[in-house]
Chain A
Amino acid sequence: MSIRVPRRPPVPSLRSPGELQGRFAELEELSQARSLAVAISDFETGHDFAYHGDRWFHAASTIKLAVLLGVYGAIHRGDLLPQSRVHVRNRFLSAFDGTPFRVRVDRDANGEVHREIGRTLRVSELAEHMIASSSNLATNLLLDLIGLDTLQRTLVELGLEGIDLRRGVEDEAAFDHGINNRVTARGLVGLLQLIGDERAFSPEYSRQMLDILHRQLFRSGIPAGVPREARVANKTGDISTVAHDAGLVYLPGRKPYAIAVLTEWEPSATGRATTIAAASYIGYAALVGDRVDGD
């Protein structure tokens, strides 16, 4: 494990939510984050936990989880196939006033999709770029293809609360006018529960989404707070003022758990990934028991 949490009393169990909340409050204070929220749902015991679980945050790239779900909703309805081809075009209309905007390649974590402009990529390829390397261009292409209304309807039909999808990414006009995607920790955990429980449309589609999440390239948040033998299917989200991670953690010999760690920061603040990893560790220890060997 790469994260060292200062030696302190063992992490309280999930069965002592008051004490566990105290531990997260302590982390929130120590980290100097403006805000920290955590939600956990354990598939093994059925226990849930939340610390500021219903507080809304700017979603950053965690909203891509909702788009992924919407993509598979469209596949489930027969509107798309995973191998359907999509024109890669860097031109989108703002959710604010319909003015066109583009995704700047220098602000996108993935330049690969930009290199395909003018050509086509498969839905499955775009979905993987959107999640694994957090391609903003792939996200907007999928959102544009399926339609914001349809995606929102899918979330409603699945009974998901705590996820407010209102626009594509890099939509500056919408941002300037306060139109933003928002999530809560509990909302993201609810979404991950659907996938982890294989209830997202069908077991097959749930597994396909899980496979994509397992290909995540950004591993400095939740994955850094759990033992190496854990497999984590996660999605991060970072902008200047927020840093998040949400994922399903698979440990040997037990059912997985879903965890979302949402944080808000001053733009100049440091220690974001460390804080998320520490929250991840506390969540892990609350479920599995504190590890002292790494201290």
Chain B
Amino acid sequence: MATDLAVTNFPLRLIDARQLEQRYRDVLIPGGILYDHSGHARVLPRYFYEVTSWAQARDTHLSRHFTVSEFIHTDVREAPPLRVFPRYIPCATLLLAFALEQLRDEVGTCVYIGANGGYCSPKHKGTGGASPHCWGTAANIYRIGDTYLDTPDLIRRYASLAHELIPTVWTRPLGDARMLTDDHLHIDLGYVLSLPREAPGETHNLKLAGDPL
């Protein structure tokens, strides 16, 4: 007799963001395009997990030590519909949590993600172009244990550790100019799209292939 090993108790509902109300689609831009600073087009996530309350965000683990709440802690710069629940996180946020877990295990203490330092929508006022924060695959770490990462030496040290532990990870270069960092460690996995098995398949229609929605 076959046993259903595929059953998951992950509490967050999988959402095809193209089916959400217009006000959410306007700010999540599911499957839309953003351009990175080199001018490359990047396709935004279409599938998200729905978070219905702060209690659920706080109680739902994406990895052993990281909860959803740490990735959705944004401020007034986030687009208005996403400042209240339900909130949405791209499915790839799980992969980021797993990557950060490697760092957490190595340092043996808490790794803190700053406000606006987890998932940010494409309409977040701090988002410029195709930031991996819009894919849920970037984290701004401002503190590890009791140490604030606000000096070049500290940022360099933990960036080096991240590279050692997580192959292909990208860390933002140090510096005080735009696009550089001097008060946190930015880690990202790039533009990862995650498609869980339970996600409905694509309906490919050549006539609609160019239609964003």
Contacts and interface: CB of A to CB of B under 8 A. Distances in A.
B75 A120 contact: yes
B34 to A, nearest CB: 22
A145 B115 contact: no
Can you list the 9 inter-chain pairs with the closest CB atoms, starting with the nearest? Answer: A87-B115, A84-B76, A118-B142, A87-B75, A118-B114, A85-B75, A100-B176, A120-B115, A91-B183
Contact of A85 (B76, B112, B143, B148): B76
B101 interface: no
A123 B76 contact: yes
Contacts of B156: none
A118 B112 contact: yes
Given A89-B114, A99-B176, 17 more contacts: A84-B75, A85-B76, A85-B115, A87-B74, A87-B115, A91-B182, A91-B183, A100-B182, A102-B150, A117-B148, A118-B112, A118-B114, A118-B117, A118-B143, A119-B115, A120-B73, A120-B75
Interface in B76-95: 76-77
A108 to B, nearest CB: 15
Contacts of B76: 80, 84-86, 123, 145
A32 interface: no
A127 B148 CA distance: 25
B-side interface mostly? loop
Contacts of B75: 84-87, 120
Contacts of B115: 85, 87-89, 118-120
B116 interface: yes
B160 to A, nearest CB: 21
Contacts of B77: 87
A87 B112 contact: no
Contact of A90 (B143, B176, B183): B183
Interface of B: 73-77, 112, 114-117, 142-143, 148, 150, 176, 182-183
B185 to A, nearest CB: 12
A87 B116 contact: yes
Nearest to B112: A118
Interface in A80-109: 80, 84-91, 99-100, 102
24 contacts: A80-B76, A84-B75, A84-B76, A85-B74, A85-B115, A87-B74, A87-B115, A88-B115, A89-B183, A91-B183, A100-B182, A102-B150, A102-B183, A117-B142, A118-B112, A118-B114, A118-B115, A118-B117, A118-B143, A118-B148, A119-B115, A120-B73, A120-B75, A120-B115
A238 B176 CA distance: 30
B177 to A, nearest CB: 9
Of B75, B112, B150, B182, chain A has the most CB atoms within 10 Å of the CB of B75
Contacts of A119: 73, 114-115
Contacts of A117: 142, 148
Nearest to A101: B176
Nearest to A119: B115
A80 B77 CA distance: 10
A238 to B, nearest CB: 27
Contacts of A123: 76
Nearest to B78: A85
A86 B117 CA distance: 13
Determine which residue in A84, A99, A117 has the highest number of CB atoms from chain B within 10 A of its CB, and name it: A117
Nearest to A80: B76
Interface in A41-82: 80
A100 B175 CA distance: 10
A143 to B, nearest CB: 14
Output the residue of A88, A100, A102 with the most chain B CB within 10 A. A100
Contacts of A118: 112, 114-115, 117, 142-143, 148
Contacts of A86: 75-76
Contacts of B117: 118
A118 B147 CA distance: 12
Contacts of A87: 74-75, 77, 114-116
Interface in A131-155: 145
Contacts of B143: 118
Nearest to B183: A91
Nearest to A114: B148
A88 B115 CA distance: 8
